[in-house]
C-alpha cells in the first residue's frame, strides 16, 4: 500500500511538472509570437510607405512620359522647326521614360504583392499570438484546478492509508486478544467443564455406593461450578465490556473502578474534567483496556492504597491519567518478554496515534498518562 501511494504520488507530481513545463513553453510561444507581430507590424508599415512612395513616383514619371510623348509628336510633325537630331532625341527621351515607367510599375506591382502577402502573414501571426495567450490562461486555470484537486486527492489517499493502517493494527490487536481469550477458555472453563463431568459421574457412583457422601460432594460441585461461572463472566467481560456500549467511556470506567475497589480493597477515585463525550469504538475500547491493565498492575505489583483516575476531554484530544501511591518501579529497566501489559498499552496508544507516558520511581508511586487525539467524534 505505501509503495503504491508512493508511486501514485510520483505520478501526480510528474503530471503537474509536465503541465507546468508545457505552460512555460506555451508562454514562450506566446511571447515570441507577440514580438514577431510587433516586428511584422513595423514591416507592414514600412512597405505601405514604400508602396505609397513608388505610386507617387509612378504618377510623376507617367506625367513626364506623357509630356515626352506629346513633345515627340510635336517634334516629329514639325519638320521645319526641328531637325532629325531633335526628333531622335525626343524619341529617345520618350522611350527612356516609357521604360522607366514600366520598370517602376513592375516594382509597384511586386511591392503590392509583397504587401498583401505580409498583411496575410501578419493577420495569421496575430491570431497565433491570441491563441497562445488564451492557451496560457486556460492551462493556468486547468493547472490551478488540477493541482488543488490533486492536493485533495493526495490528502484523501493519505487519510485512507492512515485509516487502513489503524484498521490493520486494530485487527492484529484483536486477533491477539482472541488468541489470549481462546487460551483462557481452553485452560479455564473448558478444563473445568471436563472436571464437572468427571465429578458428576462420581456423584452417580456415590448415589449407588455411598449416598451419605453425595450431599457433600454435590455442594462442592456447586461451589466449583459457581466459581467457574465467575471465570466465564470474566471472559465475557474481557471479550467486550458491555458498559462501554451502554454507558460510554467514563461511566464504564467508573463502574469498573467501583468493582475493582470493592474486590481488592484499594480506594479508587475517578474524575472527569470537561464534557462527557462519545468517541469512536476503537478509541473507547483502547482507553478502557489501558485503564483495565493499569488497575491490574496496581493490584498485582504496586501495593498501593489509593488510585486516582483523571479523564480530561477537549474537542481535540482525550487524556487519561492513572496514578497510584504504591511502591513504584524502574521505568527504564527492560521488561521481560512475557510481560505484555505495558507493551499492550503502548500499542493501543500508538494505533490511535496517541502518546503514553509512564512516570514511576521506587517508593513514589506510578502514573500512566495516555493522550489520544480526537479524529472524529461520533454523535
Ligand X SMILES: Nc1ncnc2c1ncn2[C@@H]1O[C@H](COP(=O)(O)OP(=O)(O)OP(=O)(O)O)[C@@H](O)[C@H]1O
Candidate segments 14-22, 158-166, 270-278, 338-346, binder of ligand X by CB under 6 A: 338-346
Of 2 and 265, which CB lies nearer to ligand X in the complex structure? 265
Measured from the CB atom, is 297 or 319 closer to Mg ion? 297
In 3D, which of 208, 226, 231, 206 has the Cα closest to residue 216?
206
Q: Which three cell numbers stand for residue 328?
A: 513504584
CB of 345 vs Mg ion, minimal distance in Å:
9
**Helix/strand/coil for 276:** coil
Is 275 exposed, middle or buried, given 0-12, 13-18 or 19+ CB atoms closer than 10 A?
Answer: exposed
Among residue numbers 242 through 281, which ones bind ligand X (CB under 6 A)? none
Of 313 and 366, which CB lies nearer to ligand X in the complex structure?
A: 366
> Using the rule CB under 6 A, is 222 a contact of ligand X?
no
The answer to whether the beta carbons of residues 27 and 122 sit under 8 Å apart is no
Reference 294, options 349, 245, 239, 247; nearest CA is 349
By CB under 5 A, is residue 297 in contact with Mg ion? yes
Give the one entry of Mg ion, ligand X, none that residue 329 binds, where binding means its C-beta sits below a cut-off of 5 to 8 angstroms depending on kind. ligand X
CA dist., res. 250 & res. 73, Å (int): 128
The residue sitting closest to Mg ion, measured at its beta carbon, is 341
Residues 306-325 that bind ligand X (CB under 6 A): 324
Does residue 300 bind ligand X (CB under 6 A)?
yes
Cα–Cα distance measured from residue 46 to residue 114, given in angstroms and rounded to the nearest whole number: 12
How many C-beta atoms lie closer than 10 Å to residue 259's C-beta?
13
Q: Which does 255 bind (CB under 5 to 8 A by kind): Mg ion, ligand X, none?
A: none
The C-alpha atoms of residue 6 and residue 8 are separated, in whole angstroms, by 5
Q: Which stretch binds ligand X (CB under 6 A): 5-13, 21-29, 101-109, 299-307?
A: 299-307
Q: Which of 170, 341, 355, 369 binds ligand X (CB under 6 A)?
A: 341
Please answer whether residues 94 and 71 qualify as being in contact, where contact means their C-beta atoms are separated by less than 8 angstroms: yes
Tell me which residues touch Mg ion (CB under 5 A). Answer: 297, 341
Give contact residues for ligand X (rule: CB under 6 A).
297-298, 300-302, 324, 326-329, 335, 339-343, 366
Amino acid at each position: 500500500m505505501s509503495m503504491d501511494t508512493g508511486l501514485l504520488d510520483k505520478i501526480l507530481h510528474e503530471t503537474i511538472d509536465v503541465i507546468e513545463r508545457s505552460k512555460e513553453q506555451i508562454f514562450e510561444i506566446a511571447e515570441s509570437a507577440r514580438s514577431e507581430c510587433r516586428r511584422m507590424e513595423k514591416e507592414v508599415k514600412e512597405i505601405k510607405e514604400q508602396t505609397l512612395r513608388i505610386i507617387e513616383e509612378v504618377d510623376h514619371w507617367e506625367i513626364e512620359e506623357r509630356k515626352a510623348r506629346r513633345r515627340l509628336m510635336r517634334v516629329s510633325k514639325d519638320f521645319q522647326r526641328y531637325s532629325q537630331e531633335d526628333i531622335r532625341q525626343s524619341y529617345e527621351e520618350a522611350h527612356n521614360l516609357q521604360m522607366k515607367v514600366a520598370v517602376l510599375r513592375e516594382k509597384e506591382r511586386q511591392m503590392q504583392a509583397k504587401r498583401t502577402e505580409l498583411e496575410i502573414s501578419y493577420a495569421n501571426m496575430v491570431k497565433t499570438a491570441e491563441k497562445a495567450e488564451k492557451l496560457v490562461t486556460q492551462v493556468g486555470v486547468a493547472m490551478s484546478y488540477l493541482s488543488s484537486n490533486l492536493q485533495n486527492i493526495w490528502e484523501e489517499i493519505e487519510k485512507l492509508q492512515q485509516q487502513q493502517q489503524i484498521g490493520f493494527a486494530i485487527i492484529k490487536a484483536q486477533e491477539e486478544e482472541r488468541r489470549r481469550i481462546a487460551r483462557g477458555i481452553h485452560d479455564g472453563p473448558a478444563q473445568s467443564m471436563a472436571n464437572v463431568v468427571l465429578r458428576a459421574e462420581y456423584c452417580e457412583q456415590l448415589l449407588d455406593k455411598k449416598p451419605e457422601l453425595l450431599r457433600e460432594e454435590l455442594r462442592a460441585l456447586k461451589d466449583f461450578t459457581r466459581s467457574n461461572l465467575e471465570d466465564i463472566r470474566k471472559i465475557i467481560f474481557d471479550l467486550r465490556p458491555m458498559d462501554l456500549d451502554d454507558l460510554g467511556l467514563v461511566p464504564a470506567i467508573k463502574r469498573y473502578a467501583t468493582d475493582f475497589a470493592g474486590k481488592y480493597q484499594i480506594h479508587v477515585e475517578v474524575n472527569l474534567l470537561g464534557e462527557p463525550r462519545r468517541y469512536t469504538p476503537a478509541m473507547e475500547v483502547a482507553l478502557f483496556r489501558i485503564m483495565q491493565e493499569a488497575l491490574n498492575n496496581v493490584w498485582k505489583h504496586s501495593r498501593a492504597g489509593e488510585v486516582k483516575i483523571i479523564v480530561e476531554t477537549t474537542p481535540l484530544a482525550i487524556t487519561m491519567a492513572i496514578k497510584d501511591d504504591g511502591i513504584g518501579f524502574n521505568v527504564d529497566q527492560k521488561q521481560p518478554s512475557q510481560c505484555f501489559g505495558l507493551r499492550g498499552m503502548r500499542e493501543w496508544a500508538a494505533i490511535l496515534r496517541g502518546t503514553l507516558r509512564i512516570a514511576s520511581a521506587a517508593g513514589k508511586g506510578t502514573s500512566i498518562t495516555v493522550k489520544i487525539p480526537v479524529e472524529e467524534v461520533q454523535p
